[in-house]
Amino acid sequence: QVQLVESGGGLVKPGGSLRLSCAASGFTFSDYYMSWIRQAPGKGLEWISYISSSRSYTNYADSVKGRFTISRDNAKNSLYLQMNSLRAEDTAVYYCARVSPRIPVAGLFDYWGQGTLVTVSS
Amino acid sequence: NFMLTQPHSVSESPGKTVTISCTRSSGSIASNYVQWYQQRPGTSPTTVIFEDNQRPSGVPDRFSGSIDSSSNSASLTISGLKTEDEADYFCQSYDSSNLVFGGGTKLTVL
């Protein structure tokens, strides 16, 4: 069965950095686009970034462009999100999600992880 | 960038039908598919409708989706409401450079 397990969340000071990881299993990881989506406490969902199956294409929301970097290691079945210059408004649960191959840029996320909480506070 | 606007909350009684709207601020709602996600408290979202009106396997046919070009909006309709349908519902769509979620609608089944 498909499993996505995020890790790496925690408390970080404003201006700091954090790297999130997502371990994937139960499917051929290298065949799928992957994405990060976040949810601030008590708020809605916000798409952050996605990466193509071969790593050749990435896309970011304006709110994180230039600060966050998505990457993947297909040999390790892992997705990453490097977050720099963190701000209080980046506080959220960060979800890793698999993108359905039907139309990869359409944002059909067919499997989600359980999320990892990132708190940016002094 | 466009926005997707949803009502903050809706409520209805068990057995009734409820419709949640999702209005696109710019660009045609018909140009890019709309997905709908259900999120029960403390859990990750799951898909209930994709590509405007398609149901994933395992989602009951009480859930249906549609789009209306005249109002530039999408709708999620849930018929025969059950208490287990109580959740937050998010619409989502995209354009050439962005994926956008609506702000979410809290459905209360009372």
Averaged pLDDT for residues B57-72: 97
Tell me the one-letter amino acid at A36.
W
Best B50, B99, B101 member to test A by mutation, with max A CBs in 10 Å, is: B99
pLDDT in tens, A73-118: 999 999 999 999 999 999 999 999 999 988 888 889 999 999 999 9
Which residues from chain B sit within 8 angstroms of residue A114, using beta carbons? 44
Averaged pLDDT for residues B31-46: 96
What is the reported pLDDT for A104? 82
Best A4, A37, A43, A45 member to test B by mutation, with max B CBs in 10 Å, is: A45
Give Cα B110 to chain centroid, integer Å.
Answer: 20
Give the whole-angstrom CA distance, residue A95 versus residue A90.
13
Q: Which conformational region is residue B58 in: left (phi greater than 0), alpha (psi within -120 to 50 degrees), or beta?
A: left
Which member of B1, B93, B104 has the closest CB to residue A44? B104
Give the chain A residue whose CA is nearest to the CA of B44: A114
Averaged pLDDT for residues B48-64: 96
Contact state of A106 with B37 under an 8 Å Cβ cutoff: no
Averaged pLDDT for residues B28-39: 96
Give the chain A residue whose CA is nearest to the CA of B56: A110
Give the chain A residue whose CA is nearest to the CA of B96: A105
Sign of CA dihedral B106, A3, A100, B54: negative
Residue A14: pLDDT band (50, 70, 90) is very high
DSSP label of B41: T
Number of helical H runs and strand E runs in chain B: 0, 10
